[in-house]
Amino acid sequence: MRFASGAERRAVTAASGLAAYVVALTGWRRAGLAIAAGALSVLALAPFFLWPVLFVTMPVLVWLVDGARGAAVRDCLPDVYGATRRAFSAGWLFGLGYFAAGLFWIGEAFLVEAEIFAWLMPFAVTILPAGLALFWGLATAAAQRFWHQGLSRVLTLAVSLGAIEWIRGHIFTGFPWNALGYMLTSTDALMQSAAVFGVYALSLWAVLIFAAPLVLLADAGAEPAADNGAARAKCRPAVAALAIAGLPLVLAWSWGAIRLASDDAPDVAGVQFRIVQPSIPQRDKWLGEKQGDIFRAHLGLSRQKATGEVDDLSGITHVVWPEAAMPFRPLDHPEALETIKGLLGTSVYLFAGALRVAAPPPAADGVAVPSGRPKAFNSLMVFGPGGGLVALYDKIHLVPFGEYLPWQSTLEWIGLQQLTRQRGGFSTGPQPRQPLRVAGLPPVIILICYEAIFPGEAVQTAERPGLIINVTNDGWFGNTTGPRQHFHQSRVRAVEEGLPLIRSANNGISAMVDAKGRVRSKLGMNERGVIDTTLPAALPATLYVRFGSLILICHLAFFAACAIRLRRN
């Protein structure tokens, strides 16, 4: 191997030394490094976006799998069993660190009513990360079966992790939180690539871009000395590393910058939104004696400009309240509907998160089924001028253990309950999700809370909407990274779909985001106030909208073909 400078030689020597150290680790040192590397990788995500750390942590995962294969031979274990078991361990431990550091904030929800749920917090903050880490363990175990020295193994790992991230986002109702692809969406310019590839396909690129450079440098240091002719036939390792990492990043950023600089269509004429963020403490949310105050807080904020000056909705056409804005069932309270009528006057529409309960279905003879239980829904209601209900959306993707329990009746019988304490849990609304039609607006897609984290699932019909409204209540999770991760993922949905996003949070981050993911205006954590904004225009359907999962399939096939080709060389 030839080097252009002493600096390049020192870089290769340092990388190969680090690789040899990781490969040789055993026992608790190996486990500790895997967990630490996974945990540090979370720094690449919102709100930190310190993605350069991945140039070290992702190679560590590759070298841990290298060590798993070598250890199987050293310990005289059957090669298939030993390598697979140790590779699974490497991926699981790395994933444990990643998901524990990325999801620790879930524990905050169990402290809202600590006297009831605090005992469950240790289980939530350990069992969930450990369960999600199983997916990454399976990915590394599968990858090692096709492992081969050189860049081929990085591509193999990219295929395996890319496929498992898609599975994680779909199996058992799915939970694609902090998918690897978000590591390549840290800036507005880089985020534009989601419009072409989607987050799942970007996950493959993330593994390749961040793992390959240091792995290639380390491999160069481990190669035996070659004659001059062979050396000339090889590309210098630093050049190869820079090309693999730098070229995709430069191309993605450049294309994104050009896309952002292109002219945007005019805002939708005649539309003026007011987005309300009341910042109600979560513990107060469901106290009966607080319900009236909470309702009045929403009404008062709706009548004010961002400056605090009362304008009684002058010039406003649509108001958005957050998830469960009314902690009671407004359709069952005529006085609440009368108050809403007084707020809206003759020309304003209100989007409001609320709860509703539907009676059990009648039997064939018209008599209610005796054993039937009323169904509760987490809903978004649209009230029109005059206070009447003009549109309704019932949440279809419920939060496990938050809005329902698996095996609901059995777990309730032994005394367990979900965090919302809704007896019987919430029910899912009709599927597929249908756009709402509200006067003055293009068709509207409603996403309640974490429905915004699912790539490719926002729009479920052939009709092209013109707007996404995401109402949420991130007050459950305190002033942590969780609400900030949630907001970033919702912005990526806007880019993938090419649709503007209005986000109203009880507490969290409320914002107006245009169809390219740019934040026009926002309210941060623990801020109480409103946002007055026009409606940005939607973009034509993106490549990701047009081809969806086919893009991921093509990526998996391309990366796999490249890995096979390199392995044969």
Instruction: Choose the final residue of a domain: 261, 285, 302.
Output: 261
Contact residues for 103 (Cβ-Cβ < 8 A; gap 6+): 125, 128, 129, 132, 177, 178, 482
Residue 109's pLDDT is 79
Residue 405 falls within a domain, yes or no? yes
Residue 449 appears among annotated catalytic residues: yes
pLDDT exceeds cutoff 60 at 62: yes
Residue count (the chain): 569
The catalytic residue among 323, 403, 451, 496 is 323
State mean pLDDT over 82-87: 90
> Do 42 and 158 have their domain in common?
yes
> Do 430 and 296 have their domain in common?
yes
Residue 236's pLDDT is 75
Residue 17's pLDDT is 94
Residue 23 falls within a domain, yes or no? yes
Q: Is the distance from CB of 384 to CB of 343 less than 8 angstroms?
A: no
Residue 267 falls within a domain, yes or no? no
Residue 462 falls within a domain, yes or no? yes
Residue-wise pLDDT for 447-487, tens only, equals 999 999 999 999 999 999 999 999 999 988 999 999 999 99
3-class SS of residue 222 = helix
User: For 123, phi and psi rounded to 5 degrees?
Assistant: -70, -40
Residue 542 falls within a domain, yes or no? no
> Do 69 and 125 have their domain in common?
yes
Residue 97 burial class via C-beta count within 10 angstroms: exposed 0-12, middle 13-18, buried 19 and up: buried
Could you tell me the residue range of the domain that residue 126 belongs to? 6-112+120-261
State mean pLDDT over 35-51: 98
Instruction: Choose the final residue of a domain: 218, 236, 261.
Output: 261
79-103 vs 27-41: helix axis angle to the nearest 10? 40
pLDDT exceeds cutoff 90 at 316: yes
User: Using the 8-state DSSP alphabet, how is residue 541 labeled?
Assistant: P
pTM: 0.92
How many independent structural domains does the chain possess?
2
Residue 28 falls within a domain, yes or no? yes
The catalytic residue among 108, 403, 449, 451 is 449
Q: How many CA atoms lie within 13 A of 444 on its CB side?
A: 25
Residue 423 falls within a domain, yes or no? yes
Q: Report CA 86 to chain centroid distance, whole Å.
A: 29
Give me the CATH number covering residue 466. 3.60.110.10
Residue 427 tokens read as 């029910």
- Alpha-carbon distance values, 370 to 236, 360, 367, 397, 426 (Å): 77, 9, 8, 28, 20
Residue 463 appears among annotated catalytic residues: no
> Do 151 and 40 have their domain in common?
yes
State mean pLDDT over 99-104: 97
Sheet holding 375-383, edge to edge: 389-394, 375-383, 349-358, 318-320, 273-277, 529-533
State mean pLDDT over 347-365: 82
Q: Report CA 205 to chain centroid distance, whole Å.
A: 17
> Do 287 and 257 have their domain in common?
no
Instruction: Choose the final residue of a domain: 261, 292, 314.
Output: 261
Q: Give the whole-angstrom CA distance, residue 237 versus residue 214.
A: 9
Residue 447 burial class via C-beta count within 10 angstroms: exposed 0-12, middle 13-18, buried 19 and up: buried
> Do 396 and 465 have their domain in common?
yes
Residue-wise pLDDT for 510-556, tens only, equals 999 999 999 999 999 999 999 999 999 999 999 999 999 999 999 99
Residue 235 appears among annotated catalytic residues: no
Residue 508 falls within a domain, yes or no? yes
Residue 399's pLDDT is 85
- Alpha-carbon distance values, 14 to 32, 60, 221, 370 (Å): 21, 14, 9, 74
Q: Which residues pair with 320 in a beta bridge?
A: 275, 351
pLDDT exceeds cutoff 70 at 417: no
Q: Average pLDDT over the chain, rounded to whole?
A: 89
Q: Give the whole-angstrom CA distance, residue 563 versus residue 556.
A: 11
Residue 76's pLDDT is 47
State mean pLDDT over 67-94: 76
Residue 185 burial class via C-beta count within 10 angstroms: exposed 0-12, middle 13-18, buried 19 and up: buried
> Do 179 and 278 have their domain in common?
no
> Do 304 and 346 have their domain in common?
yes
The catalytic residue among 285, 375, 395, 516 is 395
Q: Is the distance from CB of 330 to CB of 379 less than 8 angstroms?
A: no
Torsion of CA 351, 349, 541, 518, to 10 degrees: -70
> Do 416 and 303 have their domain in common?
yes
> Do 64 and 206 have their domain in common?
yes
3-class SS of residue 450 = helix
Taking CA 203 as the corner, what is the angle to CA 41 and CA 156, rounded to the nearest 5 degrees?
100
Residue 406's pLDDT is 58
> Do 375 and 460 have their domain in common?
yes
pLDDT exceeds cutoff 80 at 189: yes
Closest CA to 508 of 487, 490, 492: 487
Closest CA to 175 of 206, 129, 137: 129
Amino acid making up residue 465: P
> Other C-beta atoms within 10 Å of 32: how many?
13
pLDDT exceeds cutoff 90 at 226: no
> Do 325 and 355 have their domain in common?
yes
